[in-house]
Amino acid sequence: MNRNSKALKSLAIIMASLTYAGAVLYGDIMFISVMHTAFPDGLMGTLATAGAIMTAVSAIALPIALPYWFAPGLQFIWGIIFWLLDIVARGMNAILAYAVATNKADPWVLQWQQVSPATPLLAVIGWGLAFLLDPSHKLRHAQAELEADLIDIHADQLRQAAKSENVKEAITTGAKVAAADTAAKLTGQHIATHQLPRQQAETSPAGLPQENMESMLEVAGVTVPKSSLGNNGRKP
């Protein structure tokens, strides 16, 4: 393609874009001419007018979004339907504006008059569905489903592990220790269920606890200071 052809193509694209934008603007002006009497005064009326004009963005953005954003499949099909519905709504609003201005409204035009105020909400529905149908959501949904499956698998493994003999034995041992501590607090007597190995290590060579050995020495008339006893009740 030579330079002249490229230049003509660019000129055609620019002229088509301006024509398209002008038609969109015309549809918005016709819609506002019908609705301006229903707009409130002051700031709210200004915002309502701005909102009505912003609906033109849909008609301008759709031809760009279709080839560059919308993915093949449901999103692209919905983009075409959305575009056609937007064009039909703008055409009906223009017909309604002319009928009201000339006082020659047909019955079917008057029926559309009841629907016309809600046509800007078509952009809400159209773009909302376009975002929901974006394929990028599928990856996030797949990751969420995978995490949920892993959580279920982990929970099943925990339930199976809780039924093993090792876990049951650990729970039983812990329960005995807790019961012994509670009984000691209630009765004031120490129950050495969980301290039995340590007590066995603190016995004398004769197998007697240290305090019992000291009592026997005292009965025999032998006074042995505690400091003279070695570890575990033995004499040095």
Q: Could you report the per-residue pLDDT of 147-186, keeping only the tens digit for each?
A: 888 898 988 888 888 788 888 788 888 888 888 888 777 7
In this model, does residue 63 exceed pLDDT 60? yes
Q: Could you report the per-residue pLDDT of 109-124, keeping only the tens digit for each?
A: 878 888 888 888 888 9
Domain ranges of the chain: 3-132, 202-236
Where residue 188 falls among pLDDT bands split at 50, 70, 90? confident
In this model, does residue 227 exceed pLDDT 90? no
SS (H, E, C) the chain: CCHHHHHHHHHHHHHHHHHHHHHHHHHHHHHHHHHCCCCCCCHHHHHHHHHHHHCHHHHHHHHHHHHHCCCCCHHHHHHHHHHHHHHHHHHHHHHHHHHHHHCCCCHHHHHHHHHHHHCCHHHHHHHHHHHHCCCHHHHHHHHHHHHHHHHHHHHHHHHHHHCCHHHHHHHHHHHHHHHHHHHHHHHCCCCCCCCHHHHHHCECCCCCEHHHHHHHHHHCCCCCCHHHCCHHHCCC
Q: Could you report the per-residue pLDDT of 197-224, keeping only the tens digit for each?
A: 444 444 444 444 445 445 544 544 445 4
